[in-house]
Amino acid sequence: MSEYRGYNGRALEFLKQNKVKVGDTVKIITDFEQTATIMPRYEHSDDSHIVVKFKSGYNVGLGLDKIKKIECLSNASSTLESNNIIKHNPALPKILLLSTGGTIASRIDYRTGSVTPALTAQELNASVPELAEIANIDAEVLFSEYSENITPEHWIKITQKLDSLAKSDYKGILVAHGTDTMQYTAAFLSFALAGFPKPIVLVGSQRSSDRPSSDAALNLIGATKFIVKSGANGVFVAMHNSENDDDIACHLGTRVRKNHTSRRNAFETVGAKPAFVVSGDSVIQNFARPYYNQKDYTPKIGLDSKVALVKYHPGYDSKLVENLLDSGYKAIIFEGTGLGHVGRTMYDVIKKAKQRDVFLGMTSQCLDGQVNMAIYESGRDLMHFGVVPLSDMISEIALVKAMWSLGTNAKNIKDIMLKNIASEFRE
Catalytic residue among 25, 37, 79, 103: 103
Q: Using alpha carbons only, what angle is made at residue 208 by residues 114 and 138, rounded to the nearest 5 degrees? A: 70
Phi and psi dihedrals of 236, rounded to 5?
-135, 160
Q: Is residue 239 a contact residue for ligand ASP (CB under 6 A)?
A: no
Stretch that binds ligand ASP, among 173-181, 280-288, 308-316, 320-328 (CB under 6 A): 173-181
Q: Interface with ligand ASP includes 99 (CB under 6 A)?
A: no
CB 255 within 8 A of CB 394: yes
Pick the stretch among 178-186, 211-219, 391-399, 413-421 that binds ligand ASP (CB under 6 A): 178-186
Tell me which H or E stretch contains 24.
none
Question: Does 253 engage in binding with ligand ASP (CB under 6 A)?
Answer: no
Residue 4 is a binding residue for ligand ASP (CB under 6 A) = no
* Residue 286 to residue 136: CA distance in whole angstroms: 28
Smaller CB separation from ligand ASP, 43 or 148 = 148
CA distance 266 to 243: 9
**Active-site residue flag, 157:** no
> Least CB distance from residue 339 to ligand ASP, whole Å?
32
Is residue 209 close enough to count as binding ligand ASP by CB under 6 A?
A: no
Is 143 a binding residue for ligand ASP by CB under 6 A? The answer is: no
**Between 204 and 340, whose beta carbon lies closer to ligand ASP?**
204
Q: Are 125 and 217 in contact (CB under 8 A)?
A: no
DSSP string computed for 133-159: GT-EEEEEE-----GGG--HHHHHHHH
Question: Which has the closest alpha carbon to 391: 413, 423, 359?
Answer: 423
The contacts of residue 284 (CB under 8 Å, 6+ apart) are 276, 277, 278
Closest approach of Cβ 239 to ligand ASP, in Å? 10
Q: Going along 246-305, which residue ranges are E strands? A: 247-252, 256-258, 267-269, 276-279, 282-285
Does residue 65 belong to the site contacting ligand ASP (CB under 6 A)? no
Helix H or strand E segment including 83:
helix 76-83
- Give catalytic status of residue 348 as yes or no: no
Return the SS3 of 25: strand
User: Rule CB under 6 A: is residue 178 a binding residue for ligand ASP?
Assistant: yes
Among 190, 226, 104, 251, CA closest to 403:
190
143 or 347: CB nearest ligand ASP: 143
Catalytic (active site) residue 258: yes
392 is annotated as an active-site residue: no
Q: Which is nearer to ligand ASP, 79 or 147 (CB)?
A: 147
Q: Which helix (H) or strand (E) segment is 191 a member of?
A: helix 182-192
106 is an interface residue for ligand ASP by CB under 6 A: no
Q: Which is nearer to ligand ASP, 266 or 358 (CB)?
A: 266
In the list 37, 99, 147, 219, the residue contacting ligand ASP (rule: CB under 6 A) is: 147
Choosing from 31, 43, 65, 148, the residue that interacts with ligand ASP (CB under 6 A) is: 148
Using CB under 6 A as the binding rule, whether residue 340 contacts ligand ASP is answered as no
Distance CA(209)–CA(374), nearest Å, equals 49
Of 18, 25, 99, 103, the residue at the interface with ligand ASP (CB under 6 A) is 103
Question: Applying CB under 6 A, what is the total number of residues that bind ligand ASP?
Answer: 9
Query: Which of the 8 DSSP states describes residue 237?
Result: E
6, 33, 61 from 15: Cα distances, Å: 12, 18, 14
Q: Does 265 bind ligand ASP (CB under 6 A)?
A: no
Least distance from C-beta 2 to ligand ASP, angstroms?
A: 18
What distance in Å separates the CA atoms of residue 371 and residue 271, rounded to the nearest whole number? Answer: 13
Taking CB under 6 A as the criterion, the residue among 110, 146, 347, 376 binding ligand ASP is 146
Q: Which is nearer to ligand ASP, 49 or 251 (CB)?
A: 251
| Burial category of 295 from C-beta neighbours within 10 Å (exposed 0-12, middle 13-18, buried 19 and up) | exposed
Report in angstroms how near the CB of residue 103 gets to ligand ASP at its nearest.
Answer: 3
Active site residues: 103, 179-180, 258
**Interface with ligand ASP by CB under 6 A: which residues?**
102-103, 146-148, 178-180, 204
